[in-house]
Amino acid sequence: MTYTWHPDKMRRGVMTWAGVVLLPLAASGGVLAVCDGLPLTARAFTFLAGLVITLVLGWLAGHRALGTLAAISDLLGALREGDFGMRGRVRPGYDPLQDLVADVNLLSDELREGRRKRTETSRFLGKTLVALGDPVFVIDDEDTLRLINPSARKLIGAERSAVIGQDVTSLGLVEVLAAPDNAVFNWGFPGGRGRWSIRRAAWHSDGREHRLFMLRDLSVALGEEERRAWQRLIRVLSHELNNSLTPIGSLAGSLSTLLAARGVDETREELQVGLEVIERRAASLARFLSGYGKLARLPPLQPRAFRLDRVLARLAMLDRRLPVAIDGTEAVNLCGDEDQLTQAFINLLRNAVEAALPVSGTVRVDWRLEGRYVRVVIEDRGIGLPSSDALFVPYFTTKPEGSGIGLSLTRMIVEAHGGTVELSPMVDASGAVATVRLPLGG
Question: Bigger pLDDT: 220 or 49?
Answer: 49
Nearest Cα neighbor of 417 from 365, 347, 368, 344 is 344
pLDDT computed for residue 364 by the predictor: 92
In the three-class reduction of DSSP (H, G, I as helix; E, B as strand; rest coil), residue 83 is classed as coil
Do 340 and 420 meet the contact criterion of CB atoms below 8 Å apart? no
pLDDT computed for residue 307 by the predictor: 93
pLDDT computed for residue 9 by the predictor: 61
CA distance 423 to 385: 8
Do 363 and 379 meet the contact criterion of CB atoms below 8 Å apart? yes
Name every residue whose Cβ is closer than 8 Å to that of residue 341 and which is 6 or more positions away in sequence: 308, 311, 334, 413, 414, 417, 438
Residue 204 scores a pLDDT above 70: yes
CA distance 285 to 277: 12
pLDDT band at 80 (very low <50, low <70, confident <90, very high): confident
Nearest Cα neighbor of 334 from 277, 372, 384 is 372
Question: Bigger pLDDT: 194 or 314?
Answer: 314
Name every residue whose Cβ is closer than 8 Å to that of residue 127 and which is 6 or more positions away in sequence: none
pLDDT band at 432 (very low <50, low <70, confident <90, very high): confident
Residue 294 scores a pLDDT above 70: no
pLDDT computed for residue 93 by the predictor: 60
**Portion of the chain with pLDDT greater than 90, in percent:** 7
Question: Bigger pLDDT: 281 or 425?
Answer: 425
CA distance 203 to 192: 30
Question: Bigger pLDDT: 357 or 273?
Answer: 357
What integer is the mean pLDDT of 10-38? 71
pLDDT band at 196 (very low <50, low <70, confident <90, very high): confident
pLDDT computed for residue 402 by the predictor: 41
pLDDT computed for residue 7 by the predictor: 62
pLDDT band at 331 (very low <50, low <70, confident <90, very high): very high
Dihedrals phi, psi of 107, to nearest 5 degrees? -60, -40
What integer is the mean pLDDT of 403-421? 77
**pLDDT tens sequence across 224-242:** 665 666 566 666 666 556 6
Name every residue whose Cβ is closer than 8 Å to that of residue 57 and which is 6 or more positions away in sequence: 20, 21, 24
Residue 214 scores a pLDDT above 80: yes
CA distance 342 to 83: 73
In the three-class reduction of DSSP (H, G, I as helix; E, B as strand; rest coil), residue 37 is classed as coil
Q: Which helix (H) or strand (E) holds 135?
A: none
Residue 333, beta-bridge partner list:
307
**Average of per-residue pLDDT values in the chain:** 76
What integer is the mean pLDDT of 134-145? 87
Nearest Cα neighbor of 215 from 166, 144, 155 is 155
**How distant is the alpha carbon of residue 290 from its chain centre?**
40
Cα-Cα-Cα-Cα dihedral sign, residues 148, 153, 156, 161: positive
**How distant is the alpha carbon of residue 66 from its chain centre?**
58
Question: Bigger pLDDT: 420 or 6?
Answer: 420
CA distance 256 to 252: 6
**pLDDT tens sequence across 151-164:** 888 888 888 888 88
pLDDT computed for residue 378 by the predictor: 92
Q: Which residues of 401-427 are buried (b: 16+ CB within 10 A; e: fewer)?
A: eebbbbbbbbbbbbebbebebebeeee
Q: How far is CA 305 from CA 216, 302, 338, 418, 440, in A?
A: 36, 10, 8, 16, 9
What integer is the mean pLDDT of 337-356? 87
Residue 409 scores a pLDDT above 50: yes
Which segment of 87-96, 165-174, 231-240, 387-396 scores lowest on mean pLDDT? 387-396
pLDDT band at 306 (very low <50, low <70, confident <90, very high): very high
CA distance 287 to 325: 34
CA distance 387 to 423: 12
Q: How far is CA 312 from CA 318, 345, 417, 423, in A?
A: 10, 8, 17, 18
Residue type, 327: D
What integer is the mean pLDDT of 397-411? 58
Which segment of 46-50, 287-291, 293-297, 393-397 scores lowest on mean pLDDT? 393-397
Do 104 and 3 meet the contact criterion of CB atoms below 8 Å apart? no
Which segment of 263-267, 347-351, 416-420 scores lowest on mean pLDDT? 263-267
CA dihedral 43, 49, 51, 54 (to 10 degrees): -150
**Portion of the chain with pLDDT greater than 70, in percent:** 74
Residue 407 scores a pLDDT above 60: yes
Return the HEC string of 139-202. EECCCEEEEECHHHHHHCCCCCCCCCCCECCCCCCHHHHCCCCCCEEEEEECCEEEEEEEEEEE
What integer is the mean pLDDT of 386-398? 46
pLDDT computed for residue 128 by the predictor: 75
Residue 367 scores a pLDDT above 50: yes
What integer is the mean pLDDT of 21-43? 73
